[in-house]
């Protein structure tokens, strides 16, 4: 007979306690739960990465559109300034045209009265000539001022 090991525990019969099926059930639940969580993590992580790429793409589109909008706003401001300058130039031209028209009419009136006075003088109508010469004073003085004499 072999020598007995004094330090070895005495073999005893193992008893199956009520905890073995409970622990086995808990282990099975944890195994199923960890497998489910792994599947959920993998699928949700893929969805997250896809949404992240989509958000980045949309942000890039938004940035591009904002850049275009800023450029168009600058162009609009420039065009509005050009329009305002053109309106100002048009107003100035209208004012100058009105002044030139007034000068033209005054000079025309002076010349018409002068022509009528000369025609009356040719006919020896002294009364009409004196009347026309009095009428000539105002328009011809203005015309002289316009012409810079």
Ranges of each domain in the chain:
46-147
d(CA 3, CA 9) in angstroms, rounded, equals 14
13: left (phi over 0), alpha (psi -120 to 50) or beta: beta
d(CA 118, CA 132) in angstroms, rounded, equals 9
Residue bearing tokens 């009419």: 105
Residue-level pLDDT at 107: 92
Residue-level pLDDT at 10: 60
d(CA 135, CA 129) in angstroms, rounded, equals 10
Residue-level pLDDT at 9: 63
Residues of the chain falling short of pLDDT 70: 1-6, 8-16, 149
Long-range CB pairs of 21-25 (<8 Å, 24+ gap) are none
Residue-level pLDDT at 147: 85
Q: Can you tell me whether residue 125 is helix, strand or coil?
A: coil
Q: How is residue 51 written in tokens?
A: 């949404």
Q: Which helix (H) or strand (E) holds 66?
A: helix 19-122
What is the per-residue pLDDT across 112-133, written as a single tens digit (0 to 9) for each? Answer: 999 999 999 999 988 998 998 8
d(CA 78, CA 73) in angstroms, rounded, equals 9
């Amino acid at each position: 007979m072999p020598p007995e090991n004094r330090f070895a525990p005495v073999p005893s019969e193992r008893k199956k306690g009520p905890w073995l099926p409970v622990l086995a059930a808990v282990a099975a639940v944890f195994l199923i739960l960890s497998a489910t969580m792994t599947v959920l993590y993998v699928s949700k992580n893929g969805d997250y990465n896809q949404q992240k790429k989509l958000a980045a793409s949309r942000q890039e589109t938004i940035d591009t559109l904002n850049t275009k909008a800023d450029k168009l706003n600058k162009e609009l401001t420039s065009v509005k300034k050009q329009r305002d300058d053109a309106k100002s130039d048009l107003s100035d031209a209208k004012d100058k045209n009105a002044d030139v028209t007034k000068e033209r009419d005054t000079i025309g009136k002076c010349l018409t009265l002068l022509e009528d006075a000369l025609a009356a003088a040719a006919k020896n109508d002294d009364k009409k000539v004196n009347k026309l010469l009095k009428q000539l004073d105002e328009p011809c003085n203005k015309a002289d001022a316009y012409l810079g004499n």
